[in-house]
Structure 1
Amino acid sequence: MFVKTGRGITMLLVIVMTLAIGLIGCTSETAAPKETTTGAKAAAEVMAGFAGSPTDEYYMCTFYQGADYWKGVFIGFKQAGDALGVKTFYMGCDDGDAAKQVAVFEQIVAKKPKGIALSPTVADAFVEPINKAMEAGIAVSCFASDSPDSKRITWITSDDYRAGGEAADFCAKALGGKGKIGILERPAQNNHAARIDGFEARIKEKYPDMKVVARGQAEGDQTKAASLTSAMIQANPDLALMYCSAGMEGMGAGTAVKEAKTNAKVFCYDADPAVIDMVKDGTILACMHPNTVNQGFWSMMALMTYNKGIINPISDWKQAGRSPIFPMMNNGLDIVTKDNGDAFYVK
């Protein structure tokens, strides 16, 4: 079922107001009427306390900033920001160089925003930058990829390990449970590594006639992905599947498979428009797609919730050094195929 995000924002506000009215309604019978507050007024006070200021600025920061994937994330991020009355901005570096992305992140920190939603290209490279931002009073949440050893407040992502297992089941069904597999991966990104680990674990567990025979790292370069795939096909003419941890790798692999005129199938992640086009024309078998709008929307909501201090799950989370937000939020996943591909174009 697909729901328009604008309606989702309205429903979110209705839910918050309903909870506020319900809580205020649970007052003691012995309290004097003049000391109570009407439910509607209490709800308005809650919403006013949660709303931001037009001068508050929140940033989203990524690598490969031109990638279509991030467009969906920023749509959700901006929708939440608009509903809360704050300004939202998007900055990133042009490639996957960690040093370049750290430099962009530090430029954002220098602007002293209220919060930053970050997808780090390399987890370890961002531990110190994130911690410094947090210590400076700038809330930082991660989405898609993570920096788990940092002090970031939460991580909005998919269960990528589980996704890898589901991908293995899907591909096994398409291959009849047997065949040689080539892998294109990005091990430096923890979410990509989980996609590979979950896939390989399920293959080992359930499909003894499916074997990984080659692997490579294209680092988000479509041309390099095509070259690596061509080499794998030459070494293994009966290659049955290319399993790719991202869309750029999937498109490169799809191009190489098509040019080689083999029967190998391609499975990848991230339903960018160009990936969906290749799924629809049969170049790519299918792709697993995280709900990117959810990633952006709940990144913004998490940052605002943290900054407003409206939840206190323990006696003093600041003194305890613990974030009041869930350690991880699952944004959900879909498998995009020829049959449902039209629904996943970013608009």
Structure 2
Amino acid sequence: MKTNFLAAAAASFVVAGASVASAQDADAPWEQSPFRCEPGETYVMNVMVSGVEYWFPVYEMFKQAAHQFGCEADYTGTPEYDVNKQIATFEQALAKQPAGILLHPMNPDPFVEPINRATEAGTAVVTFAADSPNSKRVSYVTSDNAREGRVAAQQVAEDMGGSGQYAVLENPGQDNHDRRVAAFIEEMEDNYPDMELVGRASTGQDPNKAYQAVLSLAQANPELGAVFMPEASSAMGAAQAAKEAGGDIRVMSVDVNASVLDMIQAGEMFGAINPNQGTQGYYGFLLLWLAKHPELIDPMNDHAEAGFNPMGIPVLDNGYSVVTQENAESFYWDKYLKKRGTRGIEG
């Protein structure tokens, strides 16, 4: 209920504000509403591994929200899984003095100083999907990573009858991935004592490393029944290895892409937990825009003296879906774009 309330509050605030403006001047055009960007007001989304399909629906709805407010939107980031290169693209975006940046920080601590500097320079920063909690970012929009990990564990354990061997692939140091893996293991330990963790391997979101890791894990543990990973790139290699090992290993990931969906539909992957990406982007923009315009609210608190942004919402949960062979058809990016009649990150 808390999640729904926060989401509804953010949306209703915008609608209510526009209604108030209309009530004050029934003949005022939308362009005079306070819920409208100034000409050239630009909001940026910044990520690492920028070619990963996960980001595209996030940006699709981020861009839609921006355009509904009369704002400009831009998609930036680095194609590498490298925090220093991502910080460099963040700096490049910041140099253009955007109104705000919706940021997925690869690692939390290296981004503290850049985020703080952006905030002090007047560029609002909201994080999504992964956080930098010790920074001055205003808000954080995400699916509940701990809940995703626990639900993934429940799906796997129930299918295995609550007994068997499992392994995990991970990317240590990436906050949201660490949370998912930790929660997956905790759920097994707390509620499925007959599920045995027999191996862990770091893949760095590399399908080839995931492929080799699963082959090694399967060879060392002939009774291996499942392997979990916190992202989709590793899932592609893991599923191929599981297929070659005999097809009895349930491969469960968080996030999807076209290849993962194909494998789920073909029965080569057990399933996936997928954050509601479009919602993440849309709410992300709303939080970012509100953070840039704190003058629209005068709360009864000490924000002026304490120096915090009164528009901040510490955490907003964008929700998730469980993707199975039965519903995978609904999650393809190309079909989503065709339905919407848009060009994705290119348009």
- TM-score grouping bracket, smaller chain normalisation: 0.7 to 0.9
User: What is the one-letter code of the residue matched to 2:208?
Assistant: T
Structure 1 residue 17, shift from structure 2 partner? 4.2
Task: Quote the residue 2:341 is aligned against.
Answer: none
Map Cα deviations across residues 83-119 of structure 1 (whole Å, 9 max, x no partner). Answer: 0001100111111111100011001111111100000
- TM-score for the superposition, normalised by structure 1: 0.88
Partner secondary structure for residue 58 of structure 1: strand
User: What is the one-letter code of the residue matched to 2:128?
Assistant: F
Paired with 2:37 and 2:205, the residues of 1 have a C-alpha distance of: 37
Task: Quote the residue 1:336 is aligned against.
Answer: 323
Paired with 1:239 and 1:319, the residues of 2 have a C-alpha distance of: 58
Kindly indicate whether residue 314 of structure 2 is the aligned counterpart of residue 327 of structure 1. Answer: yes
Paired with 2:127 and 2:98, the residues of 1 have a C-alpha distance of: 16
- TM-score for the superposition, normalised by structure 2: 0.88
Query: Does the C-alpha gap of structure 1 residues 314 and 100 become closer, same or farther in structure 2, counting only changes over 3 Å?
Result: farther
1:130-141 to structure 2, matched below 5 A, reads 130-141=115-126
Partner secondary structure for residue 200 of structure 2: strand
Give the number of equivalent residue pairs: 325
Task: Quote the residue 2:198 is aligned against.
Answer: 213
Task: Quote the residue 1:183 is aligned against.
Answer: 168
Partner secondary structure for residue 151 of structure 1: coil
Structure 1 residue 316, shift from structure 2 partner? 4.7
Kindly indicate whether residue 88 of structure 2 is the aligned counterpart of residue 103 of structure 1. Answer: yes
Provide runs of 4+ in structure 1 moved above 6 Å: 42-47
Aligned-pair identity (%): 37
- In structure 1, the gaps of 5 or more residues are 1-7, 25-36
Paired with 2:213 and 2:165, the residues of 1 have a C-alpha distance of: 16
Given candidates 224, 232, 251, the residue that maps to 1:266 is 251
Given candidates 24, 43, 55, the residue that maps to 1:70 is 55
Given candidates 280, 295, 315, the residue that maps to 2:265 is 280
Query: Does the C-alpha gap of structure 1 residues 110 and 20 become closer, same or farther in structure 2, counting only changes over 3 Å?
Result: closer
In 2, are the aligned partners of 1:17 and 1:43 still within 8 Å (CA)?
no
- In structure 2, the gaps of 5 or more residues are 1-6, 337-347
1:292-303 to structure 2, matched below 5 A, reads 292-303=277-288
Map Cα deviations across residues 46-100 of structure 1 (whole Å, 9 max, x no partner). Answer: 9710111230111100000000000011001100011000110011111111110
Structure 1 residue 192, shift from structure 2 partner? 0.9
Query: Does the C-alpha gap of structure 1 residues 316 and 216 become closer, same or farther in structure 2, counting only changes over 3 Å?
Result: same
Cα RMSD after superposing both structures: 2.4
Query: Does the C-alpha gap of structure 1 residues 316 and 249 become closer, same or farther in structure 2, counting only changes over 3 Å?
Result: same
User: What is the one-letter code of the residue matched to 1:287?
Assistant: A
Paired with 1:173 and 1:85, the residues of 2 have a C-alpha distance of: 48
User: What is the one-letter code of the residue matched to 2:303?
Assistant: W
In 1, are the aligned partners of 2:232 and 2:257 still within 8 Å (CA)?
yes
Paired with 2:298 and 2:225, the residues of 1 have a C-alpha distance of: 52
Structure 1 residue 217, shift from structure 2 partner? 0.9
